[in-house]
Structure 1
Amino acid sequence: MKIYLVGGAVRDALLGLPVTERDWVVVGATPDEMQAKGFRPVGQDFPVFLHPKTQEEYALARTERKSGHGYGGFTFHASPDVSLDDDLVRRDLTINAMAQEEGGQVFDPFNGRMDLKARLLRHVSPAFAEDPLRVLRVARFAARYHWLGFRIADDTLALMRQLADSGELDYLVPERVWKETSRALMERDPQVFFQVLHACGALKVLLPELAALDGVPQPEQHHPEVDTLVHQWLCLQQSSRLNLPLTARYAVLCHDLGKGKTPEEEWPRHIAHEIRSARLAKTVSKRWRVPKDAATLAALVAEYHTHCHRALELKPATVWKLLKTLDVIRRPERLEGFLLACEADARGRTGLENRPYPQVDYLRGAAQAASNIDVAALRQSGIEGPELGEAIEKARIHAISEFKKTWQTPLP
């Protein structure tokens, strides 16, 4: 039995990056031998075990054979006679197909270290094209390491195009698409993930609502970048720069989808695109089975982001209507996600990335004022039933009105 550290831990250590998790491959062992040493089996499709102390994953060396469609369409074979090279050749990228034994020697049969130095994301073997999930994985690695100058090898991108055209992407289960997308959204350059999918033809399959924004113009006075898809890339870039949580980043992804449905004769204006965007955001969330908190925020940002941009112009009653729609009294964290997503949208415009956006602080202050009214005093005053609800509403609107009188837009 021999044990090797594999995959991302070896890759990131060679890049000088922090290693956040470690995976191991075991050569020359059987499941019974692993359990005899105290390892706990957890793999459903192939033998994977948890270390009795570290709880890190140890997988028996295995081979795989295409036997169906999609990510799960493989038959796996694990036995003591499967070699380290046999196991590594089935991996996606050369930089992920390295192994390191306990003494420190790195096994690199596919020149992963050379590709690390060349900043190249390159497939290990033609078998890459058998697994549609690898299109998303490579796009995610491109987003993760973009800041280091990594690019996708031309022949690997060609295989990704082949997968996108083959119909295999249609067999990916929604949960896997969302898992890869959500991880990509949290990378340093999330826009690169979607740019890569667009470049290989996968975006029109997986997220046609976003692909439809390509070439759709916007008014130049508000959007110097003009092209709506370029604006989307800039917004996603800002979502990382502003360190948005996942729910808000997903909302940024969906906020302008409705502009792809604007009739060409109305370009570059996009009247009522907010309603269309909210509807499409719900469609995408349903397709990918997006968690409820992210799906809800995405629909709200899509429908009301222009309200946020115009917040300083809105009447106190309209401001409260917006805050009430966001359910700020019970869910103040939703307001924060909403505001951050809207700020990313406002800053996702060429040359306007650093322009002041006081709307965020204004709406925070208005929400605080509305939350601070003395509801107990209103109840003790003898008002009951619907009249009490109306009195609370009026008190909140009045509090926002008083706050607005004292509000001063910060100097740039």
Structure 2
Amino acid sequence: MQTYLVGGAVRDKLLGLAPGDRDWVVVGATPDDMLARGFRPVGRDFPVFLHPQTGEEYALARTERKSGRGYRGFVVDADPSVTLEQDLQRRDFTINAIAQDEHGELVDPHGGARDIERRVLRHVGPAFVEDPLRVLRAARFMARFAPLGFVVADETLALMRRIAASGELDALVPERVWQELRKALASKQPSAFLATLRASAALAAVLPEVDALYGVPQRADFHPEIDTGIHQQLVSDMAAGLAPGDDRVGFAALVHDLGKALTPKEALPRHIGHENAGIAPIRALCERLKVPAEHRELAVIACREHLNVPRLPELRDATVYALFARCDALRKPERIAQLALVCEADQRGRLGNADADYPQGRELRRLLDATLSVNAKDLAQQGLPGPQIGEALRKARIAAIAAARDRP
């Protein structure tokens, strides 16, 4: 029985990145051997165990054979005779197919360390095409590693196109698609996720609402990049920089302009009403991918309000209060901070505008603080009857907004 550190822990160490979770592969053992050593079984589809002290995952070395459609259509063999090299052969990319033994020596049969040096994301072998999820994993890895200079190998991109053309992407369950998208949005360069999927002809299958934005023109005086799809990539990257790791802000930024794909051709490059037109495709996308409610709600808010926030100095005090009320910000004030970040990403996600100041975001948060400083308990002490308290509270909060605007 031999144990090796594998996968991301080895890869990230070679890249000089902070270590994350450590995964291990065990060669020459049976499930009974693991149980006898106190390991706890957790794997459903193949034998995975948790270490009794560290809680780290230990998987028995295994091979996989394609038996059906989709990423679940595999027969797993975790016999003790399976070698480390056979286990590494089934992995997706060479940079993930590196193992390290107890002495720190690397086992690297597919040249993963060399590809790390060359900054290339390359598939391990022809079995890559058997798992459609690997197209999304490639795109997600690019969202993380493109800032380090990584590119997808031409031959890997060709296999990704082959998978997309096969229709196998339709077999992916929504939860797995969302999981990969969520991780990509929490990475440093989400635009690389979109660009990689588009280059492999997979974006139309996975996120057709986003794919439809490419080639849609915008007014050059507001959007020097013109193409809405390129604007979307800039916005996603800006959101990742403004709110690192926040996939709720990232998702709202991703879908804030979906309505532009629905603009009649005769109206282009203007997009009158796109903020309302985008709500239906957002809800459809969220329903299809089973997006969590908090992500969906912020996305709808950002789509609906992203033209109002930049105009904040022009809005009347009552209109500002109405915006807060529509966002349910009096109960969930964090939404306004998130909305401000999405709107800032939208404004700065344009060619030549990356370093622009965005005072509207700061002002929006300040006005919300003023609004929240007024509460119903203070009015109740004035002896107002119940039905009048609501209207008095609304007026008092509007007055607080007005007073805050008068202060420097």
TM-score category by the smaller chain? over 0.9
CA distance in 2, matches of 1:28, 1:362: 63
Q: Which stretch of the first structure deviates more once superposed, 6-15 or 380-389?
A: 380-389
Deviations 1:215-244 (A, max 9, x none): 111111111111101100100110122125
2:52 aligned residue: 52
Q: Residue 65 of structure 2 aligns to a residue in which SS?
A: strand
Alignment of structure 1 residues 192-203 onto 2, 5 Å: 192-203=192-203
Return 380-389 or 51-60, whichever deviates more.
Answer: 380-389
Number of corresponding residues: 407
Aligned to 1:388: 389
Query: Cα gap change, 1:132/1:374 in structure 2, threshold over 3 Å: closer, same or farther?
Result: closer
Q: Deviations over 1:249-304 (max 9, x none)?
A: 11000100110010110001001101111221111111111111111000110111
Post-superposition Cα deviations, 1:43-82, rounded to whole Å, max 9, x if no partner, equal 0011000000011100001011111111111110111111
Structure 2 gaps of 5+ residues are none
Is residue 173 from structure 1 mapped to residue 161 from structure 2 by the alignment? no
C-alpha contact 2:11 2:95 (8 A) present in aligned 1: yes
User: What are the ranges of 5 or more consecutive residues in structure 1 without an aligned counterpart?
Assistant: 408-412
| Paired AA for residue 130 in structure 2 | E
Aligned mates of 1:4, 1:350 — CA distance in 2 = 47
CA drift at 1:95: 0.8
Q: Which runs of 4+ in 1 moved over 3 A?
A: none
Contact 2:243 2:249 in 1 (8 A): no
2:403 corresponds to which residue? 402
Letter in 2 for 1:387: Q
Give 1:269's aligned residue: 270
Which residue of the partner structure matches residue 410 of structure 1? none
SS in 1 for 2:64: strand
- Distance across 1 between alignment mates of 2:17 and 2:354: 29
Which secondary structure state, in structure 2, belongs to the residue aligned with residue 215 of structure 1? coil
1:122 lines up with 2:122 in the alignment: yes
Q: Does 1:302 align with 2:303?
A: yes
* SS of aligned partner of 1:403: helix
Alignment of 1:115-154 (within 5 A): 115-154=115-154
- Please give the alpha-carbon distance, in whole angstroms, between the structure 2 residues aligned to 1:180 and 1:355: 31
Q: Is the 8 A contact 2:129 2:162 kept in 1?
A: yes
Higher mean Cα deviation, 302-311 or 371-380? 371-380
Residue 43 of structure 1 is matched in structure 2 by 43
Cα distance between partner residues in 2 of 1:377 and 1:78? 68
Whole-angstrom distance in 2 between the partners of 1:279 and 1:401: 34
TM-score, normalization by structure 1: 0.97
1:213-292 correspondence to structure 2 within 5 Å = 213-244=213-244, 245-292=246-293
Task: Give 1:374 deviation, angstroms.
Answer: 4.7
Counterparts in 2 of 1:381 and 1:344: CA distance versus 1, 3 Å: same
2:96 match? 96
| TM-superposed deviation, 1:406 | 2.3
Letter in 1 for 2:89: V
Match of 1:159 in 2: 159
- 1:341 corresponds to: 342
- Pair 1:2 & 2:17 matched: no
Rounded to whole Å, the distance in 1 between the matches of 2:14 and 2:338 is 36
What is the CA distance between 1:371 and its match in structure 2?
Answer: 1.0
Q: Distance in 1 between matches of 2:340 and 2:387?
A: 31
Q: Which residue of the partner structure matches residue 362 of structure 2?
A: 361
1:128-147, Cα deviation, whole Å (9 max, x unpaired): 00000000111111111111
**DSSP-derived class of the 1:306 partner:** coil
Distance 2:383 2:365 in 1: 31
Instruction: Give SS of 2:70's match.
Output: coil
SS class of match (2:299): helix
Q: Secondary structure at the match of 1:184?
A: helix
Identical residues among aligned pairs (%): 53
- After TM superposition, the structure 1 = structure 2 runs for residues 67-106 of structure 1, keeping only pairs within 5 Å, are 67-106=67-106
- Mapped partners of 2:385, 2:72: distance in 1: 60
Distance 1:112 1:225 in 2: 37
Q: Is the 8 A contact 2:9 2:19 kept in 1?
A: yes
Alpha-carbon distance in 1 for matches of 2:49, 2:288: 33
Q: CA deviation at 1:3?
A: 0.6
Amino acid at match of 2:321: W
Aligned residue number for residue 319 of structure 2: 318
Q: How far, CA to CA, are the matches of 2:281 and 2:387 in structure 1?
A: 36
Secondary structure, in 3 states, of the residue corresponding to 2:308? helix
Query: Residues 376 and 389 of structure 2 are in contact (CA less than 8 Å); yes or no, is this contact kept in structure 1?
Result: no
